[in-house]
Chains A and B, each alone.
Chain A
Amino acid sequence: DAGVTQSPTHLIKTRGQHVTLRCSPISGHKSVSWYQQVLGQGPQFIFQYYEKEERGRGNFPDRFSARQFPNYSSELNVNALLLGDSALYLCASSPSPRTTNYGYTFGSGTRLTVV
């Protein structure tokens, strides 16, 4: 079975640009969560989506937005990129929005570098 798939794996953008990151959850998982992991830190929660609805939001500016599609895949969008947005962006999928144990699986992430 395929795990959580994220694309692209690496990305370089210029300050002020916009970026879209994509995530395909494990088959049967209906909830997708996004995390930002800055180098040397633990992941920080950005968003959770379930059944196309936002179920949770972390402490991130409005430049960050996301959506979930009918097939449960998800996109994370970041506008007006700043140097500080450089990070590994992780997607986690789970069967339900309350799952945080062994059913909560992370992808390998997208490494975003803003120059």
Chain B
Amino acid sequence: GQQLNQSPQSMFIQEGEDVSMNCTSSSIFNTWLWYKQEPGEGPVLLIALYKAGELTSNGRLTAQFGITRKDSFLNISASIPSDVGIYFCAGDSRGQGNLIFGKGTKLSVKP
């Protein structure tokens, strides 16, 4: 079945540093999504990408849909303590309403 490979698995950074994480797939996706999940909560959508090559920002977050449609990255600039959480990439390959998730990147920010 389809799988998403997300890296790195975890990151420990200093407040103010920039962060980059990425996701690759063996299959093509029509939509790439980036979620954040905090303890005791469900995933919350951060950015949705719909077109190959698309670059989209949401505040300090920037994500890109790879031109091959098999990868995506998420950057967080000038990290702050509230950025702590697990970030997931997810893909929607057929527009049928079910998502395939990566294993997540756990972000820790040291003040």
Choose one: A4, A50, A90, A102; the contact of B48 (CB below 8 Å). A102
Pair A42/B41 contact, Cβ less than 8 Å = no
> For residues 1 through 52 of chain A, which have their beta carbon under 8 Å from a beta carbon of chain B?
4, 31, 33, 35, 40-45, 48, 50
For the complex, count residues of B whose C-beta is within 8 A of A.
26
Classify the interface of chain A: helix, strand, loop or mixed: loop
- Chain A contacts for B102, CB-based, 8 A: 42
Pair B44/A100 contact, Cβ less than 8 Å = no
- Chain A contacts for B1, CB-based, 8 A: 59
> For residues 68 through 93 of chain B, which have their beta carbon under 8 Å from a beta carbon of chain A?
88, 90, 92
Pair A42/B97 contact, Cβ less than 8 Å = no
Choose one: A4, A31, A45, A97; the contact of B99 (CB below 8 Å). A45
B66 contacts A by Cβ under 8 Å? no
